[in-house]
Structure 1
Amino acid sequence: MNDDLPEVSVCTTTYNSSKFIEEAIMGVLAQKVSFRLEFVIYDDCSSDDTPSILKKYAEKYPEIIHVFHQATNIGLNQNFMSAMRQCRGKYIALLDGDDYWIDPSKLQVQYDFLESNPDIVLCGTASLKRHESSGTYIRSHLYLPANTGEVKVFGTPEMYKLDPFWLPTHSLLLRSRCVCFPAWFKDVVYVDRALRLILSLEGSLAFINKITCVYRLHGSNTSANRETSPDVCRGYLHTYWNFYKYSGKKFRADASRAINHSLCEERRRILEYCHGGEAASRLFKNFIHSLNYFQILSVRDFLEFIYHFMFLKNLVAWLKRGR
């Protein structure tokens, strides 16, 4: 082991996060750990007070905090990859600049877990979600009793589905040796979802039911339009399709369900949220994509394709309205 290298690198990307970045930094500095820690922060050319705040903390904690500034705004994906490549630790902890940690034992618990389980490449924990508009909190996993410490282990099939278990990005600690960025990664819609899939090829992924961190819900979240945007579904489709090929076309049934669901959900959102010429153009592109990507592995898949993409679903809805 090189004694000059940290055991854990905390990796944070930020852009115009002046309202939140100090709380993120303080949560990292509050960690009580038995190993050497570094904190890598990449700012994507922020135009608010984020750079001056980062400078203040980098000057105060020069042995821990290493700040890098992009000369121009290069976007979340490229900034994320730059930050990850700068991390030198055996493990990398992810933390967006607008989220924060609330448990000072978070990193030590996860570090000890990964040290004791060499077959696990990534572990996450439970989280709280904070609604900034109201200041209220909800748990990320309402279907589980809080803070039981129970561990659940997953593989690639669950990372295709994500549900019922969500591994919060701001809770993750992962093995840096398993990180790689294929050429298609720069265009994924959510870097965390694609990274979890890629890591799942190297080993199992674990969830520890212990609340350690907070995810802020506010209007500037990159996922703020997750529920309505058809483009998000198109992004999911490309992530799943590219990963399926990258994996050597393993887990075909799980990949097919994820790909098909993305196409069907994109179509549903177009019909619900788009109108006029925009809707017609998007529906046409969605249909072309369905011809290219929809996976038919069974009779049920074939019938689903006919129902969703040959306008039978619309006809059924029209007949119901006419009753």
Structure 2
Amino acid sequence: MKSEVAIVMSTYNGSRYLREQIDSILGQDFKNWDLYIRDDMSSDDTGVILKDYEEKYDNIHVVENNNINLGAKRSFLKLVECVNAKYYMFSDQDDFWLPNKISLTLGAMKSAEKVRPDASIPILVHTNYRIVDSKLAELRTPPASFKNYTDLSSLSINNCITGCTMMINEALKNLIGSVDTESVGMHDWWFGLIANCFGIVKYLPQVTILYRQHEGNVVGANTGMADSGSGSKVKRILRGIKKNLRYYRKEFKYDSITAKQIYYFRKYYSKMLTDNKKKELDVLYEGLIGGPKAGAVLIKKLRPQSRNKEVKWVMYYALITK
């Protein structure tokens, strides 16, 4: 009998923080879950730790990795493919879940289901997080509105969905299919596009997770315009402008992962997309790979948003000065 919630975790040399993370999941106030962990060929003590927890707890399962290193994106996609549940959550190996993370997210999911009471509607819920250092001391918390945009153009350019805060339903899982992972940015970004085009993306502004930042992060937190580090706020903002401008100029090209993903998504779901969604994706793709005129058309027609208004204007500047 499957649990209501399947939590999937991909590990790789995560022994330093792994026990603390698994313990935070065991400490959840919602108990009807199973944790499925796939180790991506670690060379440290991660395997020993996982075996210890699997032996102690009936709802913790180590998934066979067939001695293959897949990388985080492919590993998470493989886990979702081989697990069955009503809802799915995604855990990094080095964060810390607050005790009500599952119950709050599941409550938001069920609220969204009432809006669209059809089991075939894909739904994605994601939440806010608190950024902490390696010892879980608070560094900063993004504003509640930091990630609250759901239009396709904004989400296609700026992924506001953080995988470790995310829950998807079974209907969304069933739409994933066997994708070409080289054409997908990250699993959370891809799932967000599916939910946007065919169902519901719901954002919960509450903090549900301590998002640990350290030297081993695969993907770090994006906190907007002000760059971290030393110096005055003005200097940090100037560094942030340069950093974001470099990023957008790298991504606004035909061979960038942002452009590849838009093109591939349009092709992969062509038979399901509405004409309006197809047109929007076409404008997006042409705006990214074309010159300044195509970038200006994208801005005028779609007005894509970013995590804050300052970053949005940097993005617009990059689009019209290619």
What is the rounded CA distance, in whole Å, between the counterparts of 1:56 and 1:306 in structure 2?
A: 52
Q: Deviations over 1:172-229 (max 9, x none)?
A: 1110221213433354232221221123223111111111102222222223598567
Find the counterpart in structure 2 of residue 23 from structure 1.
20
- The reply on whether 1:92 has 2:94 as its aligned counterpart is no
Give the TM-score of the pair, scaled to structure 2: 0.70
Unpaired segments ≥5 residues, structure 1: 145-150, 264-289, 310-323
Deviation of residue 27 (structure 1)? 1.5
Q: Does the C-alpha gap of structure 1 residues 75 and 39 become closer, same or farther in structure 2, counting only changes over 3 Å?
A: same
Asked if the contact 2:153/2:284 (under 8 Å) is kept, the reply is: no
Asked if the contact 2:123/2:195 (under 8 Å) is kept, the reply is: yes
Asked if the contact 2:20/2:96 (under 8 Å) is kept, the reply is: yes
Q: Does the C-alpha gap of structure 1 residues 30 and 260 become closer, same or farther in structure 2, counting only changes over 3 Å?
A: farther
> What SS does the aligned partner of 1:52 have?
helix
Q: Does the C-alpha gap of structure 1 residues 42 and 258 become closer, same or farther in structure 2, counting only changes over 3 Å?
A: farther
Larger radius of gyration: 1
The number of aligned residues is 265
Q: How does 1:122-137 map to 2 (within 5 A)?
A: 122-132=124-134, 135-137=137-139
Asked if the contact 1:153/1:204 (under 8 Å) is kept, the reply is: no
Q: How does 1:55-134 map to 2 (within 5 A)?
A: 55-61=51-57, 63-70=58-65, 71-102=67-98, 104-118=99-113, 119=116, 121-132=123-134
Find the counterpart in structure 2 of residue 315 from structure 1.
none
Asked if the contact 2:8/2:90 (under 8 Å) is kept, the reply is: yes
Q: How does 1:23-62 map to 2 (within 5 A)?
A: 23-33=20-30, 36-61=32-57
Find the counterpart in structure 2 of residue 276 from structure 1.
none
Q: Does the C-alpha gap of structure 1 residues 133 and 9 become closer, same or farther in structure 2, counting only changes over 3 Å?
A: closer
What is the rounded CA distance, in whole Å, between the counterparts of 2:318 and 2:109 in structure 1?
A: 43
Query: Greater shift after overlay, 167-176 or 238-247?
Result: 238-247
- The reply on whether 1:242 has 2:264 as its aligned counterpart is yes
What is the rounded CA distance, in whole Å, between the counterparts of 1:216 and 1:96 in structure 2?
A: 10
Q: Deviations over 1:55-107 (max 9, x none)?
A: 1111111x2101124212122232112111222210001111122212x1221
Find the counterpart in structure 2 of residue 139 from structure 1.
141
Deviation of residue 113 (structure 1)? 2.5
The RMSD of aligned alpha carbons is: 3.5
> What SS does the aligned partner of 1:183 have?
coil
What is the rounded CA distance, in whole Å, between the counterparts of 1:153 and 1:231 in structure 2?
A: 22
Q: Does the C-alpha gap of structure 1 residues 18 and 231 become closer, same or farther in structure 2, counting only changes over 3 Å?
A: farther
- The reply on whether 1:175 has 2:148 as its aligned counterpart is no
What is the rounded CA distance, in whole Å, between the counterparts of 2:6 and 2:44 in structure 1?
A: 26
Asked if the contact 1:37/1:64 (under 8 Å) is kept, the reply is: yes
Find the counterpart in structure 2 of residue 287 from structure 1.
none
- The reply on whether 1:251 has 2:277 as its aligned counterpart is yes
What is the rounded CA distance, in whole Å, between the counterparts of 2:298 and 2:86 in structure 1?
A: 47
Asked if the contact 1:256/1:295 (under 8 Å) is kept, the reply is: no
Deviation of residue 135 (structure 1)? 4.3
What is the rounded CA distance, in whole Å, between the counterparts of 1:132 and 1:194 in structure 2?
A: 29
Q: How does 1:214-293 map to 2 (within 5 A)?
A: 214-223=210-219, 233=251, 234-248=256-270, 250-251=276-277, 254-255=280-281, 258-259=284-285, 290=290
The one-letter amino acid paired with 2:259 is L
Query: Greater shift after overlay, 217-226 or 197-206?
Result: 217-226
Unpaired segments ≥5 residues, structure 2: 117-121, 223-242, 301-316
